Structure 1
């Protein structure tokens, strides 16, 4: 906490006493819609617990801000869809780079698969844009203090990872993706065409409910550390 000094008169003397001010949480907003940024910024400015540190509209800009040696924010609010990527891709890239920024996803989509995907990728907080603003602010405070704050969902469905639905061949394919193999290398080692590799990758991404290789590898790494379900069945 910061302290300011204020004089108070007592009889003929002046007593100097400290006035304690609580530090505000510095919030970075990453959102593609400037109207949402403006509305969030206005609400944050009216709450003494927060101050707006920065606003960006792309995942690339957020990742750059989070990659600095001393990030200029305490917590980030990420809209689900940014100008250049969605926040699932941002979370996957954060895992790949071992970035540890505290993030709350602010989604305008009620699709439960988005929430499940974010939880699998290690998000600390999740809110919907149609929630009461107080819910978002309470979530920000909770996450800033190191807690996880997400909407209610069946925990067993979080643990029931899509990886358990993969065939042995698909698990093998995911494993070599995690090892950094290119499509051409996979084709050469398995004796199939590169187009066939792309076809299998598309099916793999659909099963995992991810959009690209980076997200698939991040999910694989996260789930591999959580249990034995990746072993051959």
Structure 2
């Protein structure tokens, strides 16, 4: 919830990124007219979006999944490593397993392009209030797998752990200090609810087996 100033709610800072100039222009006009929002900037590329939000505080980012050049999934992955990154609303065609993919990547919401623009704005308001909005998905089920809560670095460490690497070897392979390795391990153990390396490795392999079984059964994850 945004803090109020002199009794009035402060507008939600938004940045918009879409490779389609018509969509970018139309959404910019719609957001500009809505007093609940303050449109900070727009971009036609993922790189432009990233460069702006690294410099200017933005609460909500509205992006297209197919955003050039990085793409939505990679952009969200990079943002997950940044402090004070905006919460991301993916605004794209609702095709295939895209809402689930957006959720797994770390987006806060998915809004289909087929819906009315007002639905997108309401989704942004909900996300600014701390909610996650994914139509037709059981968000609780997706969030129940702790693997999805790990950062890119933590996932890399978990995979390296499964190979039996020591802290020193982890530091060398990932090009980080041993103290940083210990910091990431501590966070990793907490997120997975395990107490040591052996339990973390067991969790990793049990999770992989579950994914392989689902893939063999044709169940999307």
In structure 2, what is the Cα distance between the partners aligned to 1:225 and 1:102?
20
The CA deviation at 1:53 is 1.1
Paired residues of 1:104 and 1:123 also in contact (CA < 8 A): yes
State the secondary structure of the residue aligned to 1:89. Answer: helix
State the secondary structure of the residue aligned to 1:232. Answer: helix
Higher strand share: 1
Moved over 6 A (4+): none
Which one has a bigger Cα radius of gyration?
Answer: 1
Gap regions ≥5 residues in structure 2: 148-154, 163-169, 175-186, 194-199, 207-221
Instruction: Tell me which residue corresponds to 2:123.
Output: 139
TM-score of the superposition, structure 1-length normalised?
0.59
1:87-143 CA-partner distances (Å, limit 9, x unpaired): 11111111234553111110124222x211221222111101111112101101011
| Residue 26 (structure 2) aligned to one of 26, 39, 43 | 39
Higher helix share: 2
State the secondary structure of the residue aligned to 1:231. Answer: helix
State the secondary structure of the residue aligned to 1:41. Answer: helix
The CA deviation at 1:85 is 1.8
Instruction: Tell me which residue corresponds to 2:105.
Output: 121
Gap regions ≥5 residues in structure 1: 4-19, 164-170, 183-220
Structure 1 residues 154 and 83: CA distance shift in structure 2, 3 A? same
Paired residues of 1:60 and 1:84 also in contact (CA < 8 A): yes
TM-score of the superposition, structure 2-length normalised?
0.62
Instruction: Tell me which residue corresponds to 1:232.
Output: 205
Structure 1 residues 36 and 226: CA distance shift in structure 2, 3 A? farther
Structure 1 residues 25 and 155: CA distance shift in structure 2, 3 A? closer
Paired residues of 2:159 and 2:204 also in contact (CA < 8 A): no
1:152-191 matches, cutoff 5 A: 152-155=136-139, 158=142, 175-176=159-160
Paired residues of 1:66 and 1:99 also in contact (CA < 8 A): no
In structure 2, what is the Cα distance between the partners aligned to 1:126 and 1:40?
16
What is the RMSD computed on CA atoms of the aligned residues?
Answer: 3.5
1:190-214 CA-partner distances (Å, limit 9, x unpaired): xxxxxxxxxxxxxxxxxxxxxxxxx
The CA deviation at 1:66 is 2.3
